[in-house]
Amino acid sequence: TLIGNAHVHGEPLIEYLIWPRADINQGDVNNVENLLKSLMVEPTRLYASKSTLRPTPAFWLAELDHKTYQEVSRHPKVEEISPNEDPFQLEEKASRKVKLASFDTAMPRLQPLALGSLKDGRKIFHEKAALPELRIISQAPNTPLWENPDYVYSIDESEETFIYIPDFGINRAHWDFSNPAQKIEWLYTPQTISHHHDTPTEMQWPWPGALGSHATCVASKAAGRVAGSARHATLVVVKFWPSTAGAAEIFDTIMQDIVAKRRAHHSVVNFSFGSNGKQKMVERKQASDIMMLVRRGIPVIAGAGNGGPGFVTRFPAKLSDREDNLWGPIVVGAVDWFGEKAEFSKELQYGRMLWAPGEDIKCAAESPDIASYSLENGTSF
């Protein structure tokens, strides 16, 4: 990230991530931070990514020119220095997007009927004339869609479920999130808090631009009152700063929140992004964080990626493309209304994966009209 027009030694200042070696101790940390402050034009802008789960910073952010960059890179406790940029791409890149401004008038608004309960205490619900992508979730194997046009699901009301969605914020005012019984929490990565100085309410909106449509649709399919598959769950919208540094803090922030609130075994993380493979240190940190989540009983879901047919190429889904995978994310590809693989969906070459509706699915749309829905394609959804 180019820092304004600031120059030192006749060269522009660039914001870098400084990654420490694994064997760094607190004395080394102090030494590195003192060096960085002595070289920076504005030492107060030095940022250390800290966590309650590790004794030393995961990385530092510092504004350096070429000369100071070279000096920092020679420090024996610095493993790598990389520019703070945006290496992530939204995995939704729909092959078709259709806005349905009046679509909500045809969507079911009545509460699903309770059919009864199971011996373990779970209640069974039955929604008639459900959306096609919801129907195929509960239909029996090898059953044509027209033979089972309803959505049947169960809820264990004795245990709360939390769906963590890292993204750039959602349109909280949309009608699909207006159910009074629906619970939505907001979680901000440290980079988001340090950069954003607006009120908490303003922070709940997507970053400027078109990025908000992605998160709004993902959240809508997760637990929206009309389009959601798990409407009883609590949505936790994890807003991260759109940069390499922001992406590096996603899973760490989620882990700290789950541990602090004792939500292990009651939470799932839905990650709908894929990196370009150029930021190896970010991927290494995220792989370690994902492993920590999975080992604590917290499933991490990753979209297989679009642009298919073909095999998965992007991180973190690529972590699970091996036959002996134990600690990687659960990779999910897209199918159509009839359970057939969507043409645009990628797939794993070696590892096992799941499939879920992702073609022509209906979700809350990015629109000033807070009651509009749209058709979307993508493994994110």
286 in Cβ contact with 248 (< 8 Å)? yes
Which strand ranges, in their side-by-side order, compose the sheet holding 98-100? Answer: 98-100, 373-376, 361-364
Is the pLDDT assigned to residue 91 strictly greater than 60?
no
More confident of the two residues 269 and 118: 269
pLDDT in tens, 19-32: 999 899 999 999 99
Q: What angle do CA 311, 317, 320 make, to 5 degrees?
A: 90
Locate 172 and state its tokens.
């909280």
DSSP designation for 251: H
Would you mind telling me the total number of residues written for the chain in this entry? 381
147-154, long-range: CB within 8 Å, 24+ apart, which pairs? 150/126, 151/112, 151/126, 151/127, 152/115, 152/124, 152/125, 152/126, 152/127, 153/124, 153/125, 153/127, 153/229, 154/118, 154/122, 154/123, 154/124, 154/125
Pairing of strands 123-127, 113-117: antiparallel
The larger pLDDT score, comparing residue 213 to residue 294, is at: 294
Q: Are 209 and 221 in contact (CB under 8 A)?
A: no
- pLDDT-wise least confident of 67-71, 79-83, 208-212: 208-212
pLDDT in tens, 361-370: 888 887 666 7
User: Does residue 107 carry a pLDDT above 60?
Assistant: no
By C-alpha distance, which of 91, 80, 19 is closest to 276? 91
pLDDT of residue 74: 92
Q: Which helix (H) or strand (E) segment is 374 a member of?
A: strand 373-376
pTM of the model: 0.86
Distance of alpha carbon 305 from alpha carbon 91, whole angstroms: 6
CB neighbour class for 297 (10 Å; exposed up to 12, middle 13-18, buried from 19): exposed
pLDDT tens string 139-186: 777 777 667 778 888 777 777 899 999 988 888 888 888 877 788 999
**Alpha-carbon gap, residue 48 to 34, rounded angstroms:** 12
Residues 292-310, mean pLDDT to the nearest whole number: 90
Report the pLDDT value the prediction gives residue 76, as an integer from 0 to 100. 93
